[in-house]
């Protein structure tokens, strides 16, 4: 049995206005986030040898960077970043929290061992270059420490 209800007119109008504002800012946000992501990818691949960029540099969503660090395990990287107050995820969005390599990354042709070390960094409207620089400062020593503990050389995983 269906009962008629009063429509949430204020909610409908508010949602329409939010969509209008988001639509106007979407192109500018995408450009700014793409620039930040490109800066991050360029800097991190220069700072950390044997870093694998798991997504194309072009034709990608601008707010997500997925990287693998040969010789380091993704979950260990995430835990180390968390201690530094930096939030990131392992694998792909489809498999966050799983212990197996991301089936999405493997389907993209990325080696299972490389995919096991994947970390996903998500940028948002409030992300700043200073925050990216903080990650760039914290991440290289984390990767160096984890690689030193790994029984497998990063050279065999790239």
Q: Is 109 helix (H, G, I), strand (E, B) or coil?
A: coil
Q: How far apart are CA 37 and CA 106, in angstroms?
A: 23
Structure tokens at 56: 């194309």
Calculated CA dihedral for residues 24, 30, 35, 38, nearest 10 degrees: 180
Q: How far apart are CA 158 and CA 148, in angstroms?
A: 16
Q: Is 94 a catalytic residue?
A: yes
Which of these is catalytic: 94, 107, 149, 152?
94
Q: How far apart are CA 151 and CA 109, in angstroms?
A: 24
Q: How many other CB atoms are found less than 10 A from the CB of residue 79?
A: 13
| Residues 43 and 131: beta-carbon distance below 8 Å | no
Residues labelled as active-site residues: 94
């Amino acid at each position: 049995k269906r009962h008629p209800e009063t429509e949430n007119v204020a909610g409908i109008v508010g949602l329409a206005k939010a969509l209008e504002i988001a639509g106007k800012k979407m192109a500018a946000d995408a450009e700014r986030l793409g620039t930040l992501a490109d800066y991050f990818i360029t800097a991190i691949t220069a700072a950390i040898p044997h870093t694998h960029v798991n997504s194309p540099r072009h034709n990608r969503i601008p707010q997500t960077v997925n990287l693998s660090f040969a010789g380091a395990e993704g979950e260990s990287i995430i835990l180390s970043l968390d201690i530094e107050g930096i939030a990131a995820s392992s694998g792909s969005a489809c498999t966050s929290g799983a212990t197996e390599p991301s089936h999405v990354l493997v389907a993209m042709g990325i080696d299972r061992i490389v995919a096991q070390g994947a970390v996903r960094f998500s940028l948002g409207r409030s992300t700043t270059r200073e925050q990216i620089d903080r990650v760039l400062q914290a991440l290289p020593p984390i990767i160096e420490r984890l690689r030193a503990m790994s029984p497998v050389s990063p050279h065999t995983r790239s």
